[in-house]
Structure 1
Amino acid sequence: MRRRESIILLGGVALAGALLAAAQEKKKALIGFLGSGSAKSSGIFVDSLKEGLSDSGLREGRDYMLDLRWAEGNYERFPALARELVERKVDVILATTISAVRAAQRATSSIPIVMTSITNAVGSGLVASLAHPAGNTTGISNLNEDLTPKLLDYFFEIMPRARMIATLGNPANPSTHGLVEVIRGHTVALGAMVNPFEANSADELDAAFDGIDKSNSDALLIVPDNLLIDLREPIAALALKHRIPTLSTIPELTDAGGLLGYGAPRRDLYRRSGYFVKRILDGANPGDMPVEQPTRIQLSVNAKTAAVLGISIPAALLGRTDKVIE
């Protein structure tokens, strides 16, 4: 009888242990991620996201698991990728571009969505307002439309005689056309013209730069887009090859070899996204969480690129620069 009781007791302990382990396993949040480019080129941003989650006390493997889905530059893949995340019953979805946010919103009205860095989130119809986003979406709306004119002002301090500015944008990004018009309006006010070019894959960069070269443009402004951010290294290399100064609101492009940058470091924004995820996992309603805008704007100059291109950076501008890449 005692042997039988011991067996029952041991069986109960084993069952309790299994239930406890299962309960602990269920406590791990499953965080979905819709990335525009590839795992390799976006690695620094995923690392920043993990740092932000760590800042909030969340450790990968212990508190959460990441399910990373990559569009590899093809934004038409987002709807299928979003549906896959919904089918996996993720606890929250991080979306990196307008097309990704829209795909996630169409796939679910209940799973919270966090925007990592979106241009004109209100104007794009992704949220009702910054203060009261409503629905299941919140996160970070960048200031690209406001920062781009100031970026041009800084560039004209370097090259006041510039008369033709080429732009390179991704036609698959819904914000590209509006940003090109912002660039055009401010460039005309500075006495110059805009020549738009497009690329929506790495394979199209060579042809785009050949066209830019033939256009005799004085500079190239990269229209902010997550795919083009992912392609920052080949873009910087091609710009140097064609000897054209490149400017952007993406400081990471300056790090890669662009001449001038004025914008919020994307790594900061991805890191801040971790805060939104933690709040949501703790029970916050995304529709009640105000959408944030960047608080740190970085002016960056690549002095090495300037030297290669034979461009002199005014001392007054260098004195205001937050980061100089030597």
Structure 2
Amino acid sequence: MRRRQFIGLVGGVAALPVLPPLAVRAQQAGRQYRIAYLALLAGEDSTFAKPLLQRLEELGYRESKNMIWDYRSADGRAERLPQLAAELVRAGPDVLITGFGTLAPKAAIAATHSIPIVFTSVGDPVGAGLVASLSQPGGNVTGMSGQASDIAAKKLQFLEDLIPGKKPVAVLGNSDTPYTALALQQIKTAATAMGLPFAVLDARTVDQIPAAIDAAIRSGAASMLVLEDPVLLSAIRQTTDLAAKARLPAIYGPREYAQAGGLISYGTDQSQLSRRAAEYVDRILKGASPATLPVEQPTKFELVINLRAAKALGLEIPPNLLSLADELIE
């Protein structure tokens, strides 16, 4: 776990700090701001937090000058999030940022109802109970949604372009994640319209991923679509290696999958979401209320194709997919 600023525990459970109203904490010249970041996954400091920090610096916030950056990671161990959230809150940050998924913002909300919280990537923030609505979040929470309504249909179309003939698709997800239900609804609608058969495979822990991929092969799936989920994201290399070993072409979400050897990734440009989250932090420090800052949805997506993986699978990428790719890994 990486900590840029360490705040030690003082025995027992401390009471939540009493903070002045949001407007009173509006940005003031010459003061130093404490900005906290709570991450579930290991490595979020480079994938999620780095572009956010870069944007904060562009907006005038610099460590050791007018900003204290307090970063905590649970390193994939969700049970540690409540303790880390409590530590961050006791330090009295001006804003608390949370990383990928719903577990970190839920831990933050449980720790404070007064400190503004900005989440950087949540698939279904309304369904997860984080906000009242996308347009009017309410409470002390707002942020960035990492999904769009048509992304499932596009992923299925990419698989159909790659392996034509209405071949069965295995969909790997985690039923414990609120976003999974929404994604499966979108997939069902898109697959029905395309006449594409699919089967749903559940992996609620990393240990269940190998059995799920084995089940995909036994079911006769010709390809696999992997949903975005903190559990699955904590096992990117394992998942891509298992799919390659099973010779199962797969499409994933974040670009890190393709960079780890996965065939295709298509998903949100996370750096853009992180930069927008930084702009929300800036607006809050200048007096805006999270309750009235709408949850933003992504506008930029990335298609990354790993040509080495395609060659290993004996697949030829269609010209239309090659022309759409934002990046080709050779």
TM-score by shorter chain over 0.5: yes
Q: CA deviation at 1:114?
A: 0.4
TM-superposed CA distance for 1:162, in Å, is 4.7
**Counterparts in 2 of 1:118-157, with a 5 A limit?**
118-157=122-161
What SS is found at the alignment partner of 1:308?
Answer: helix
CA spacing shift, 1:181–1:295, aligned 2, 3 Å? closer
Instruction: Compare 126-135 and 203-212 and name the one that shifted more.
Output: 203-212
2:304 equivalent to 1:306? no
Superposed displacement of residue 110, structure 1 = 0.8
More displaced stretch, 200-209 vs 125-134: 200-209
Distance 1:234 1:61 in 2: 39
Q: Which has a greater percent of helix?
A: 1
Does structure 1 residue 50 correspond to structure 2 residue 83?
no
Residues 86 and 108, structure 1, Cα contact 8 Å, conserved in 2: yes
SS, match of residue 127 in structure 1: coil
Q: How big is the shift at 1:112? A: 0.4
User: 2:292 matched to which residue of 1?
Assistant: 288
- The alignment's TM-score, normalised by the length of structure 2, stands at 0.81
Q: 2:76 aligns with which of 48, 53, 73?
A: 73
* Residue of structure 2 aligned with 1:184, choices 185, 188, 192: 188
1:161 and 2:160 matched? no
Closer/same/farther in 2, CA of residues 72 and 216 from structure 1, 3 Å limit: farther
Q: 2:274, 2:134 → 1: CA distance?
A: 18
Structure-2 change in CA distance of 1:107 and 1:160 (3 Å): same
CA contact (8 A) 1:36 1:227 kept: no
Q: Classify 1:187/1:232 alpha carbon distance in 2 versus 1 (closer, same or farther; 3 Å).
A: same
Aligned-partner SS, 2:135: coil
In structure 2, do the counterparts of structure 1 residues 195 and 41 end up closer, same or farther at CA, with 3 Å as the change threshold?
farther
Could you tell which deviates more after superposition, 105-114 or 40-49? Answer: 40-49
- TM-score of the pair, normalised by structure 1: 0.82
Deviation at 1:310, TM superposition (A): 0.9
Once the two structures are overlaid, the 10-residue window that deviates more, 249-258 or 108-117, is: 249-258
Aligned partner letter, 2:95: V
> 1:288: Cα distance to partner?
2.3
User: Using the alignment, how far apart are the partners of 1:69 and 1:298 within structure 2?
Assistant: 28
> Contact (CA 8 Å) 1:252, 1:265: kept in 2 or not?
no
The residue aligned with 2:258 is 254
Change in Cα spacing, 1:31 to 1:170, as seen in structure 2 (3 Å) is farther
Matches within 5 A, 1:1-326: 27-38=31-42, 40=43, 43-96=46-99, 97-326=101-330
**Contact preservation (8 Å) 1:75, 1:172:** no
Per the alignment, residue 7 of structure 2 pairs with none
Matched residue count:
300
Q: How far does residue 200 in structure 1 lie from its aligned partner after superposition?
A: 4.1
| TM-fit CA distance, 1:271 | 2.7
Once the two structures are overlaid, the 10-residue window that deviates more, 224-233 or 153-162, is 224-233
CA contact (8 A) 1:299 1:322 kept: yes
In the alignment, residue 63 of structure 2 is paired with which amino acid?
Answer: E
Once superposed, what is the RMSD of the aligned Cα atoms? 2.4
What is the distance in 2 between the residues matched to 1:255 and 1:272? Answer: 24
Following superposition, the deviation at residue 269 of structure 1 comes to 1.5
Deviation for aligned residue 1:145: 3.8
For 2:52, give the aligned amino acid.
Answer: L
Q: Which amino acid counterpart does residue 72 of structure 2 have in structure 1?
A: R
Please name the residue that 2:20 is paired with.
none
CA distance in 2, matches of 1:42, 1:172: 25
Which one-letter code corresponds to 1:48 in the other structure?
Answer: P
In the TM superposition, what whole-angstrom CA distance separates every residue of 1:18-67 from its partner, at most 9, and x where no partner exists?
Answer: xxxxxxxx9432222221222x4653322222222222222233332333
| Shift of residue 293, structure 1, vs aligned partner | 1.6
What is the aligned-residue identity percentage?
Answer: 37
CA distance in 1, matches of 2:44, 2:175: 20
Kept after mapping to 2: 8 A contact 1:99/1:173? no
Any idea what SS the aligned residue of 1:175 has? helix
CA separation in 1, counterparts of 2:260 and 2:33?
34
Unpaired runs of at least 5, structure 2? 1-29
Is the 1:164–1:193 contact (alpha carbons within 8 Å) kept by the matching residues of 2? yes
